Structure 1
């Protein structure tokens, strides 16, 4: 597994500003979290999703390919950092 955090630079309040992905060795998302400006979370996994968040229907590209798109700033993160954000998203939906 690998874990990434992508900052999405835009002015649209309806879209998330941070995207977190847990990516399997096959390049497909296993879990995803979206964080919005107002503090809301959306999340998705094979077990279900909240809001409009869903797993990607394409394999996740490498960081260089994501970074080539000017509106995105991607970074690798640790499994522990991803899990902290995942737990925050779970708590919010309870």
Structure 2
């Protein structure tokens, strides 16, 4: 497993500003969290999803490919950091 946090730089209030992905060794998302500017969370896993958040229907690109796109700043994070955000997303808005 690997864990990725991506900051999405944009001005659209309807889109998330932070994306968190738990990615399996095969490159497919296992769980995903989206954080919106207003503090709302969306989350998705094989067990279900909230709001408009869903698991990707494509493999997650390598961090270097994501970083090549100007509007994204990706970083690999720890499993513990991902779990903390996942727990916050289950509780609701910040």
* Cα shift readout 1:22-80 (whole Å, capped 9, x = no counterpart): 00000000000000000000000000000000000000010000000100000000000
The alpha carbon displacement at 1:81 in A equals: 0.2
RMSD: 0.9
1:56: which partner in 2? Answer: 56
- In the alignment, structure 1 segments of 5+ residues that lack a partner are none
Show structure 2 runs of 5+ residues with no match: none
Q: Identify the residue that residue 16 of structure 1 maps to in structure 2.
A: 16
| Whole-Å separation in 2 of the counterparts to 1:37 and 1:91 | 17
Q: With the length of structure 1 as denominator, give the TM-score of the two structures.
A: 0.97
Counterpart CA distance in 2 for 1:92 and 1:9 is 23
TM-score, length-normalised on structure 2?
Answer: 0.97
Other structure's SS at 1:21 match: strand
> Which ranges of 4 or more aligned residues in structure 1 deviate by more than 3 Å?
none
User: Aligned pairs, how many?
Assistant: 93
